[in-house]
Amino acid sequence: MNNKFVKETLDWIYAIVLALVIAMVIHIFLVQPTRVSGESMDDTLHNGQYLIVTKWQHIMRDMPDYGQIVIIDSRVNRERTWVDDVKEPLMNYVSVIDKSAQTNDVWVKRVIGRPGDTLEFKDGHVWRNGEQLQEPYTKDTTMNYSRSTPVVVPEGHVFVMGDNRNHSSDSRFIGSVPVDHVLGFVEYAL
């Protein structure tokens, strides 16, 4: 009877550990649920809204398209390693129990510029390669930001902005984002 109890307990522990390993592999390489924190993407995405993010593009270093909503690592001045890709999903699990484990380094933004693009911020709007962008998704009709010199997006980088332009920390302040800092593409908002 004692051996049966030990065997059953070990079977349960094995099943739980295996399930956690499979979940981590899925979160690192395939799909990750996440949650919007803040108002920088209003009116498109809202504070507290759940998102389904595909991660395969991050692993393959795919270049996102214009208008694609992505999650990024905002710490653009540091190298990312595979340890970051393992640690961040793990911290999502830990933050369910311990709120202090949450980080504010992962942002949800929209891709505005790709490598080689020249961006200007004038007359309350964004201009890409000399043409004013038509952006019906932005919260405000005009942006309270201007810059006297254009920005050229470097090779291997993207320029991202929040849809709530007047209340968003984004590439205007942190600079262009290396493609390896694009952690995934937002596929669904729930």
Whole-number pLDDT of residue 126 = 96
Q: What pTM was estimated for this model as a whole?
A: 0.84
Q: Judge whether 55 counts as a catalytic residue.
A: no
* Domain hosting residue 133, numbered range: 3-189
What's the total number of domains in the chain?
Answer: 1
CA distances from 175 to 77, 78, 80, 119, 148 (A): 9, 13, 16, 12, 16
CATH number of the domain within which 170 lies: 2.10.109.10
pLDDT of residue 169: 92
Is residue 139 annotated as part of the catalytic site, yes or no?
A: no
Cα 177 → chain centroid: 11
44-62 average pLDDT score: 89
Q: Considering 74, 109, 168, 171, which one is annotated as catalytic?
A: 109
Predicted local distance difference test score (pLDDT) of residue 24: 82
Q: How far apart are CA 67 and CA 54, in angstroms?
A: 16
The answer for residues whose C-beta is within 8 angstroms of residue 22's C-beta and 6 or more apart is none
Percent of the chain with pLDDT over 70: 93
User: How much is the average pLDDT of 43-59?
Assistant: 90
Catalytic residue among 40, 168, 171, 176: 40
| pLDDT single digits (tens) 158-175 | 999 999 999 999 999 999
Q: Which pair of tokens denotes residue 181?
A: 């800092």
Mean pLDDT, the chain, as a whole number? Answer: 89
